[in-house]
Amino acid sequence: MNKGNILIKILGILFLAIGLFSFFLVPVEFTSFYSFSEGGNHHYEGFGFGSLMFTFILLNIIVYFILAVSCIPLGIGNLTLKKWGFNLSLAFFKALIIIGLTMVISFLSSFDLINTLEPYQTLIILIFFLIFLISLPFILIKFYQTPKNEQLFKTSASNNYFEKQSPDNLTIILLNLFWILIFYFLLFFKGSFPLFGEFFLKKRALIS
């Protein structure tokens, strides 16, 4: 077993562990709503649809859900060394890079947000984006695309959907699903919706 095979197996175990743990946390996070709802230990006036804590709990649920549905198949595909696992891994890493670049540009363009942060906080956020959402996925893409490592992944006997799709097509699918979840999340934040640099938080009357 060569070094590439070992590292891919380790990544598969890591992906699977993250996915299964996140899958467990999705229903657990739902219990947080009971603590802040009326009668709960941490209830406060105004908790509910549109409140900050309500939205924060929902954000955690969406993040855990994304990790679960992404990392579980990634873990299985890498551990079994199937071709669909290779395609899905490349698509996942490419999607992370695109999301990371988008977040860096958005963050640097948010002058009001940057002004509220200390310089070291801004630097930490940028370093996090650059390392985990851009540099690391880029290195992994190069690692997976090495001819020796790519040959480790074998075509499965079953008629698998992911093996028919190129990594680029899967990247587009993953990005579409991600942005759908983001807009779904914004609906719970007082129905906010971004439009030309502004967030519309309430429904405006069309007829006065």
pLDDT grade, residue 190 (50/70/90)?
low
pLDDT of residue 36: 78
pLDDT at 193 over 60: no
Bigger pLDDT: 205 vs 133: 133
pLDDT at 203 over 70: no
pLDDT grade, residue 181 (50/70/90)?
confident
Percent of the chain with pLDDT over 70: 86
* Residue 89: φ, ψ to 5°: -65, -50
pLDDT at 90 over 90: yes
pLDDT grade, residue 192 (50/70/90)?
low
Question: How far is the C-alpha of 6 from the C-alpha of 19, rounded, in Å?
Answer: 20
Tell me the pLDDT tens digit for each residue of 24-44: 999 988 888 778 777 777 677
Task: Give the mean model confidence (pLDDT) for residues 80-90.
Answer: 94
- Residue 204 backbone class (left: φ over 0; alpha: ψ -120 to 50; beta: rest): beta
pLDDT at 196 over 60: no
pLDDT of residue 198: 52
Question: How far is the C-alpha of 21 from the C-alpha of 26, rounded, in Å?
Answer: 9
Question: How far is the C-alpha of 48 from the C-alpha of 61, rounded, in Å?
Answer: 16
pLDDT of residue 49: 67
CB 175 within 8 A of CB 95: yes
pLDDT of residue 205: 38
DSSP per residue, 106-134: HHHH-HHHHHHS-HHHHHHHHHHIIIIII
Question: How far is the C-alpha of 65 from the C-alpha of 19, rounded, in Å?
Answer: 9
Tell me the pLDDT tens digit for each residue of 19-28: 999 999 999 8
pLDDT of residue 111: 76
Question: How far is the C-alpha of 61 from the C-alpha of 75, rounded, in Å?
Answer: 21
The residue count for the chain? 208
pLDDT of residue 22: 95
pLDDT grade, residue 109 (50/70/90)?
confident
Q: Which two tokens stand for residue 70?
A: 């992404």
User: Does the pTM of the predicted model rise above 0.85?
Assistant: no
pLDDT at 200 over 70: no
